[in-house]
Chain A
Amino acid sequence: MSVIERTTKIYEGSRIPSPIPTTLQVDTSKHALEDILTINFGPNHPSTHGVLRLVVDLDGEMVAGLSAVIGYLHTGFEKTMEQKTWWKCITYPERIDYVSFQVNELAFVLAIEKLLGIDVPRKATWMRMCLSELTRIHSHLVWLGTSALELGAISMFWYTFDDRDATLDLFEMVCGTRMHTRYFQAGGLAEDIPEGFYAQARAWCKKMPKAIDEYEAILDRNAIWLKRTKGIGLLSADDAIALGQSGPVLRASGVNWDLRKNMPYLAYDEVSFDVPVFHEGDVYARYRVHMEEMRESVRIVTQCLDRLEEMRGEPWIADDRKVVLPPREELHTSMESLIHHFKIVTEGYVVPEGEVYSCVESPRGEFGVYVVSDGGPKPWRVKFRAPSFVALQATATCMTDAAIADMIAVVGSLDGVMGEVDR
């Protein structure tokens, strides 16, 4: 199946507003009638997924004008990271998108490794893949629970958060914390995989597909859910590409694009999985993509566990003492190890001069990291290409000729995490 197929037309032409692609502007003639009511939706509103503010011009129930105002959660991550050593910076990308922490960490670690030119043991590669897919499911569960909650299906929230908890138990088992694990190091993993992980992860893999079936049983025959999602928030394939959309939003518009498949990283070319694509371009299609992706992720996790169990006893991190912390037990017997440990912890390792752009398929789409190094122990510049930031640019296009109530469904389906939007 090719990336772009011209089989279905979601709508004719382009709906991207002009001249500002991200803002719907009210007709001046309507303003003259004095029937337009301008309201602030957010920034503190339970269904804005954080602190998003939408300034909406209403013509009755219909949205006539719309512009998104962001920045309420801006914390200056990129500026802060310029002051920290490379290895301390690894904790930051997790925190910008607190729902897909492990994938963001992966993108940053891959960027450092690209500059360092360091080889990663295969056990680390497969474990990274395994945890990335667990994160994807975690993120999709949070998305499903909150999006359904906003449309009135409150029971979904309790079920998905129960399963999310089981997913976080796996993270806790591997790295001691439930979120923001900092488990990926430049060169591999921070620790070996604990013995009990395989059994617990397999039990989880067995349970998860049934749980997804149950979610679908709750939503797919719920008349309110179907009415509020089908045919709402349309986005055509061409508009989605022009607006830089990626991830589930792009795949729900009929574009068969997934970085794991089309530009594979880690070992994604060695596992078998399908990329779900839907052609309707509405909120319901985005929901379908999320559901199918969870099933595919369980498939990938199962394959990763099979391979990882064969790799018991193998190294989990590269053996480069200039970058990787020496094993703890060596510190008591080896002077060189102690010095290396002290140097890395106090000054950090140096990363060769250069600039790279590394990207991965996060639960929300293309998560990219652009880093510049001047050859010192701190990054010169770090920039995150946040998929949520881009996704919110499509709000205006999706809200063409829509009612105010649809806005909740549309904003939810674009899956913006404000920490990542504002950074």
Chain B
Amino acid sequence: MTAYDDVPGLVETTGSHGETTLVIDSSRIVEACTHLRDDLGFNFLSDVTPTDYLGWGGRGVSGYIGTTAGRDLHGPGTQGLARVPDAKPKRFAVNYHALRLSDDPVRVRLQVWLDDGEEVDSVVPVWPTADWFEREAWDMFGIVFRGHPNLVRILMEDDWEGHPLRKDYPIGGEPVRFSGAE
């Protein structure tokens, strides 16, 4: 029995390193966030950030899989992974770090899992500060936040192709642009 049992769409509660993670059904994230804000007092959203788990636990990861040759940290003479990490349910995790900004402060991480192309509802109506965080998540990972009032690129240029923080976006692969006559 924890304080989070009543959170709508709660799939699982995990804890490690003194932090609590609530895995939420991706279709009910707005309900869950509203419940946290209104009933549990989490008035402050610290951060929204996705993680791309493409290639998690596979060979040539722990760094990079985007180049054709890859980079294999499990080759001879390297430490590699001591064990294969636990499999993840889907490709992307979107993490919401909420904080109860009060005399009794608590932090909690909400996590929703998405496959490539899946959408999630925007939490801008719950916490206005999510505006730029969600734009950054779209820009860097290509995750669509349904109902976001202004979901356009924020760090990259408007006509940029691809989403740079995806694991399959190559480093050194950005197009070089020239202006003026070639």
Residues of A within 8 A of B (CB): 2-4, 16, 19-23, 70-71, 74, 76, 78-80, 82-83, 114-115, 241-244, 255, 257, 262-263, 343, 347, 350, 353-357, 359, 366, 368, 370, 372, 374-378, 380-381, 383, 385, 389-390, 392-393, 422-423
B30 interface residue per 8 A CB criterion: no
**The 5 A-B residue pairs with the shortest CB-CB distance in the complex, in nearest-first order:** A244-B129, A376-B62, A21-B128, A385-B47, A71-B155
List the A residue with the shortest CB-CB distance to B166: A79
Residues of B within 8 A of A (CB): 16-19, 21, 43-47, 49, 51-53, 56-57, 61-64, 73, 78-83, 85-86, 95, 97, 101-103, 105, 107, 109, 124, 127-129, 131-132, 140, 149-150, 153-157, 164-165, 169, 171
Q: List 13 A-B contacts (CB under 8 A).
A: A79-B171, A82-B64, A83-B64, A83-B171, A243-B128, A244-B44, A350-B82, A353-B85, A370-B95, A377-B79, A380-B56, A381-B52, A422-B155
Residues on the B chain within 8 Å of A368, using CB: 46-47, 97
A-B contact sample (19 more), CB < 8 A, given A375-B82, A375-B85: A4-B101, A16-B128, A19-B149, A20-B150, A21-B131, A71-B157, A76-B164, A79-B171, A83-B64, A241-B44, A244-B127, A255-B101, A347-B79, A350-B82, A354-B16, A356-B17, A357-B46, A376-B81, A380-B62
Do A78 and B97 have beta carbons less than 8 Å apart?
Answer: no
Do A381 and B51 have beta carbons less than 8 Å apart?
Answer: yes
Do A22 and B56 have beta carbons less than 8 Å apart?
Answer: no
Do B51 and A375 have beta carbons less than 8 Å apart?
Answer: no
Do B49 and A370 have beta carbons less than 8 Å apart?
Answer: yes
List the B residue with the shortest CB-CB distance to A111: B17
Residues on the A chain within 8 Å of B21, using CB: 355
Residues on the B chain within 8 Å of A357, using CB: 19, 46-47, 97, 107, 109
Which residue of A79, A390, A392 contacts B165 across the interface (Cβ within 8 Å)? A79
List the B residue with the shortest CB-CB distance to A372: B51
Number of A-B residue pairs with CB-CB distance less than 8 Å in the complex they form: 145
Which residue of B83, B132, B153, B171 contacts A393 across the interface (Cβ within 8 Å)? B132
CA distance A59 to B168 in the complex (A): 47
Do B46 and A244 have beta carbons less than 8 Å apart?
Answer: yes
Do A374 and B97 have beta carbons less than 8 Å apart?
Answer: no
CA distance A389 to B47 in the complex (A): 11
Q: How far is the CB of B56 from chain A (nearest CB, A)?
A: 6
**Residue among B80, B128, B149 facing the most chain A CB atoms (10 A cut-off):** B128
Residues on the B chain within 8 Å of A255, using CB: 101
Residues on the A chain within 8 Å of B44, using CB: 241, 244
CA distance A19 to B131 in the complex (A): 10
Q: How far is the CB of B154 from chain A (nearest CB, A)?
A: 6
**Residue among B43, B63, B103, B153 facing the most chain A CB atoms (10 A cut-off):** B63
Residues on the B chain within 8 Å of A21, using CB: 124, 128-129, 131, 149
